[in-house]
A and B are shown apart, each in its own frame.
Chain A
C-alpha cells in the first residue's frame, strides 16, 4: 500500500481521532492521542490489508521545551512490506501511555527501557520494572533535565547497598 492509500485508509476509519499526518523520511507519520493508542495499534495490526505485524523500534524522546514526552513507534508489515510511523505525545509531568506489549511482544522490553531511562509509565504493561538500572535507583537519567551528581549518587547508593535495600 502506498503512503497515500494508507493515509486514505486511516482517515476513513479514524477521522478526527488522528491529530496530524506528515510525510516523514520514513514514510507516512501519524500522531495519535495517548488514550487512543492501544485501540489504533490493535486495528493496525489486525486489519488484513494493513497487518502491521512487526514493531521495528520503539523510542522515547523528551521534549523539555514543549513539556511533553513522545513515544515513536516504527511499524512494518512483513506481509505487505509497507511501513508507518506512529507518534504519541503525553504531558511531561505525568507521562502515561497505554502499553502495546500485548499486541507486539517486542514492545515489552522497549517499554521497560523507556520506563527505566525516561520515566514513561506504560499503562497495562505486565511487568513494568527497571531494565538496565538497579532497583532503588532514583530518577530517569535520559531525561533532558536530569543532573548527574556523582558524589551524592555514590554515597546514597553505597548506603542502600549496606542496608541491604538493593540486592
Chain B
C-alpha cells in the first residue's frame, strides 16, 4: 500500500516542461455526467493539465432561505427535504432542532432515539449513493448497481415508515410525525445483518480495487491546515486526519449516550476520504443496533389506531409556534458534513431570517485551490469525491 502511495504521488504531478502552450478555456458542465447535477466549472487548461478551475454556481438556486421567511415554522419543514435530497431526513432534523432551540422545547426521549436511528440509516443510504456514483465517475460501473440495490432496501423501510422515498417530511417540531410501525425494527435488524457482508464486498469491489487506488491515491491532496482554513467538514476533514465530528465535538440529541468511533485517515487524498466513508457506514450500523435495542425498551404505540395521537414521539407544540425574539445557530453532522441553520426569530409566527450552512457548499469552495496541477480526468475524481449535491450547494 505504502509503495503504491509513493509511486502514484511522484507520477501524478505535472511535469516541469520547457515548452508551454497557450491555455484554453473549457467549460465543464452544467451538462456533464460527473458534475452530479448542474455544476459548471470554468477551466483554464494547458493541454491536459489544469491551470485554474472556477466553479460557476446557481443553476439550481431556488432561494430556500427567502421561501422559508415567507412560511410559518411548521410549513417550512417540507422545504428542507429539497436542500440536500440525498439525505433529506438530516435536513428535516436540523430545521426542527433550530426551532426547538428557539422555543426551548424538550423532545420525548423515544423521538430522540428514533431520530438518531433514522438519520444513521440515511447516512448509510447517502454514502451508498456516494460510493456508487463515485465509482461511476472514475470508471467502475458495477459497484453502482450493488450500491443502489442496497440503498433500495433502506428506502423501502423509509417508505413503510412515512410513505415517501426521497422527500420524507418525517421530523416535526417537537418529535417525529408518527411512531414506528409494528415489526419495523425487526426489519432494520435484518437490514444490518444483510449490510455487513455487503459492505465488505463493496470494499473488495471498489475501495481496495487496484484500478480505483490508481485513480484516487495522491489525488486532490488537502493538508490538514488547509482543510481547517477552508472550513471543511464531514469525511472531507476527517480524511485529512482531523477528528472533527459534531456527534462527538458537540453532541446533540442522544449521541453522548451512544458508543461509536470517529473514523479518520491521514492520507489527505481522495482515497482516504472514500475509505472514511466506507468505514463510517460500519459505525452507522453499530449506532443503529444500539438505537434499535433502546427503542424496543420504550413504550409502544397503540397499533389499533396508527393515526391517533402519539405522545411518546411528539411533544406538545402549539400549531403556530411563536418563539421569542432571539437567534440561534444549530448544526448537525449530515453525511456530507456540518449542516447548519442560523435562524433569527422576531417573535412572529414566521422566521425572520434563515441561513443554511450547507456542507457541500463549503466543501466545494476548496476546489479552485486543489484542482490546479491535476489532469482533467483527475478533476472528475476530485469533484466526485467532494460528494456534492447541487440542491444544497445552490439552495
Could you tell me which A residues sit within 8 Å of B by CB distance?
24-26, 53-57, 59-62, 72, 74, 78, 81, 85, 104-106, 108-110, 117, 130-134, 141-142
Contact = CB atoms under 8 A, between A and B. Distances in A.
B230 A56 contact: no
Contacts of A110: 362
A78 B329 CA distance: 17
B65 to A, nearest CB: 7
A105 B366 CA distance: 9
Given A61-B353, A109-B361, A109-B365, A25 B57 contact: no
A134 B59 CA distance: 9
A77 B355 CA distance: 21
Nearest to A143: B66
A57 B329 contact: yes
B369 A25 contact: no
A78 B244 contact: yes
A141 B63 contact: yes
A133 B229 CA distance: 26
Contacts of B230: 105-106
A72 B343 CA distance: 11
B357 interface: yes
A106 B338 contact: no
B326 interface: yes
B76 interface: no
Contacts of B229: 53, 104-106
Given A72-B327, A132-B57, 17 more contacts: A25-B326, A25-B328, A54-B228, A54-B231, A57-B342, A59-B329, A72-B329, A74-B329, A74-B340, A78-B244, A104-B229, A105-B366, A106-B230, A108-B365, A132-B58, A142-B63, A142-B65
Main secondary structure on B side of the interface with A = mixed
Contacts of A54: 228, 231, 244
Nearest to B231: A106
A134 B329 contact: no
Nearest to A79: B228
B355 A59 contact: yes
B121 to A, nearest CB: 26
A54 B228 CA distance: 6
B61 interface: yes
Interface in B240-264: 242, 244, 249
10 contacts: A24-B327, A54-B231, A57-B329, A57-B355, A59-B357, A74-B340, A106-B230, A109-B362, A131-B58, A132-B395
Contact of B344 (A61, A109, A130): A61
Contacts of B353: 59, 61-62
The 9 closest A-B pairs by CB, nearest first: A106-B231, A59-B355, A132-B58, A57-B357, A25-B328, A132-B61, A109-B365, A59-B342, A105-B229
Contacts of B61: 132-133
A60 B228 CA distance: 22
Contacts of A131: 57-58
Contacts of B65: 117, 142
Interface in B336-383: 338, 340, 342, 344, 352-353, 355, 357, 361-362, 365-366, 369
B231 A56 contact: yes
A127 to B, nearest CB: 9
Contact of B357 (A56, A60, A130, A141): A56
B333 interface: no
B358 to A, nearest CB: 10
Interface in B218-251: 226, 228-232, 242, 244, 249
B41 interface: no
